[in-house]
Structure 1
Amino acid sequence: MNEQQTLEQLKALKLLGMANAMAVQLESPNIQSLPFNDRLALLVEAECHERDNRRQQRLMTQAKLKIRTACLEDIDFRTRRGLDKPQLMSLGQCQWIGRHQHLLITGPTGVGKTWLACAFGMHAIRRGQSVAYHRVSRLLEETEIARADGSLSSLRSKLAKCQLLILDDWGMSPLTDIGRQDLLEFIDDRTGSGAILIASQLPVAKWYEYINEPTLADAILDRIVHRAHKIEMHGESMRKKRGLSDGED
């Protein structure tokens, strides 16, 4: 079998990383002079790298993050927004996600809550963890549509399976009776099995009032608050200071 046939078979087997690496090896006399085991190791390493990249791209597509350029390493700690560097670096290890804990980010409009939430989402994706981003109002609209077309169980299953569920703009719109119940169901489905990140303009102390139904408020907050890390942001709007777009709340 000649080298071209080998390349074609690698592609047919969907070993694209190995195929591309082999093509490079064939053009490099220095690599061709290496022992067979070393060359094989390079091919396997290239295939692993290719699969990691494809998985990461798939996770990014599935996550639907609002800001895909957000990155924890880009945080400017010189700006006084209540951000504690040791806390953020610790949370950036994403161990809280593996432990099915939660993260609550609160603060006034424009301080960067959505950006920070997406940065944590991107960090989780880079570590191979599945993420789903939703604005609460849009999610509840999707839930109503799913209920009408019979796909609600599929939506609930999808949200329950991701390792990190990001709920943005929590508290921005009033909840209906069915909306409160839906939120409880989504959160309960993840209790002990998945992490939740909530970003909200409302301080946690006002969430009970936002839910506006004592029994459901107790049930929802009991499942979230007691297993949560908290980041309380403050300061002047970053949009006002830097002219950022609305997407960087």
Structure 2
Amino acid sequence: MLDHPTLNHLRALKLDGMAEAFAELQRQDDAAELSHAEWLGLLIDREAANRSTKRYQSRMRAAKLRHGGAAIEDVNYRAPRQLDRDLFRQLAHGDWIGKRQNLIITGPCGVGKTWLACALGQKACRDGRTVLYHRLSRLFADLELAHGDGRFPRLFRQIIRTDLLILDDWGPERLTTSQRRDLMEIVEDRYQNGSIIITSQLPVDAWHDVIGEPTFADAILDRIVHNAHRLPLDGPSLRKNET
């Protein structure tokens, strides 16, 4: 019997999916009826599925989504928040990410803006895309520190190269000079190169005042808004219904 040596060789070659499938087939009485080609096909299928799962898990770890369990299949369309079902289902297909378009989700506190953004991020990870979540206030603080300790180039590359960047909770505090500069660099380098989801309690019309300096505001908003889908929400906080 070559059971154990074969398993050891598969694991040594890091073919863990094939090793698991091989062990399972050895325990099945009807496996002897399979041809060599059928055996090999089952082993290869399991290895491919195993590697796909590991890549997905790696993308999810890198994404650092605030709601890692959020999924588009679990969206509550009956919640009183005026969610456009047709638009959200269209967004769930992810074509807008491939086209390097943006998404703006606005609405009052508690209507699920962040959860919906994370659900779209999780679906993007499932589709093989890279995703990165940042709460905007914490990102600005991290960038400020990175300017001083030499981490800025590496952090900036990470932000720029991801397929989908989620910037959560825009506003309401007015941006500082360094924050305007950093945001301008981010949206400039990502423009037509990657997609951004922005969530905010503020309507888009109020963003100009948050940025502060008119020249920066015009340039930043032009790159974010002009090719963006908009998902405005409204209604009472859903947290009040949580038990």
Match of 2:77 in 1: 77
Greater CA drift, 65-74 or 161-170: 65-74
Q: What CA distance in whole angstroms lies between the structure 2 residues aligned with 1:169 and 1:114?
A: 8
Q: Distance in 2 between matches of 1:13 and 1:48?
A: 14
Mean Cα deviation higher: 75-84 or 190-199 = 75-84
Deviations 1:90-122, CA, capped at 9 Å, x for gaps:
100011111110000000111111111111111
1:33 CA drift (Å): 1.6
Aligned 1:150-169 pairs, distance under 5 A: 150-169=150-169
The alignment of Structure 1 onto Structure 2 pairs a total of residues equal to 243
CA distance in 2, matches of 1:89, 1:174: 33
Q: Which runs of 5+ in 2 are unaligned?
A: none
Q: What is the SS of the residue equivalent to 1:132?
A: strand
RMSD, aligned CA: 1.1
Q: Distance in 1 between matches of 2:144 and 2:239?
A: 33
Amino acid at match of 1:235: G
What per-residue deviation string (whole Å, max 9, x for no partner) do you get for residues 131-152 of structure 1?
Answer: 0000111001110111111111
Q: Check the 8 A contact 2:174/2:209 in 1, yes or no.
A: no
1:31, CA displacement in angstroms?
2.0
Question: How far did 1:7 drift?
Answer: 1.1
Q: Aligned-pair distance for 1:161?
A: 1.0
Aligned residue number for residue 87 of structure 1: 87
State the partner residue of 1:182: 182
Are 2:204 and 1:235 equivalent residues in the alignment?
A: no
Name the residue aligned to 1:17: 17
- Secondary structure in structure 1 of the residue aligned to 2:53: helix
- Alignment of 1:146 onto 2:146: yes
Q: Is the contact made by 2:208 and 2:221 (CA closer than 8 Å) also made in structure 1?
A: yes
Give the structure 1 partner of residue 137 of structure 2: 137
SS of match in other structure, 1:76: coil
Q: Post-superposition shift, 1:32?
A: 2.8
Indicate the SS of the match to 2:226. helix
Q: CA deviation at 1:29?
A: 2.0
Shift of 1:173: 3.1
Deviations 1:159-187 (A, max 9, x none): 11110000001114331101011011111
Matches within 5 A, 1:188-199: 188-199=188-199
Residue 66 of structure 2 corresponds to 66
TM-score (norm 2): 0.97
Aligned mates of 1:80, 1:161 — CA distance in 2: 36
Amino acid at match of 1:98: G
Cα offset, 1:219, TM superposition: 0.8
Percentage identity across paired residues of the two chains = 47
The answer to whether the 8 A contact 1:167-1:197 is kept is yes
| Unmatched 5+ stretches in structure 1 | 244-249
Paired position in structure 1 for 2:102 = 102
Which letter maps to 1:238? L
SS in 2 for 1:236: coil
Alignment-derived partner of residue 171 in structure 2 = 171
- CA deviations over 1:24-62 (Å, ceiling 9, x no partner): 111112123201111111100000110011011101110
**Conserved in 2, the CA contact under 8 Å of 1:32 and 1:39?**
no
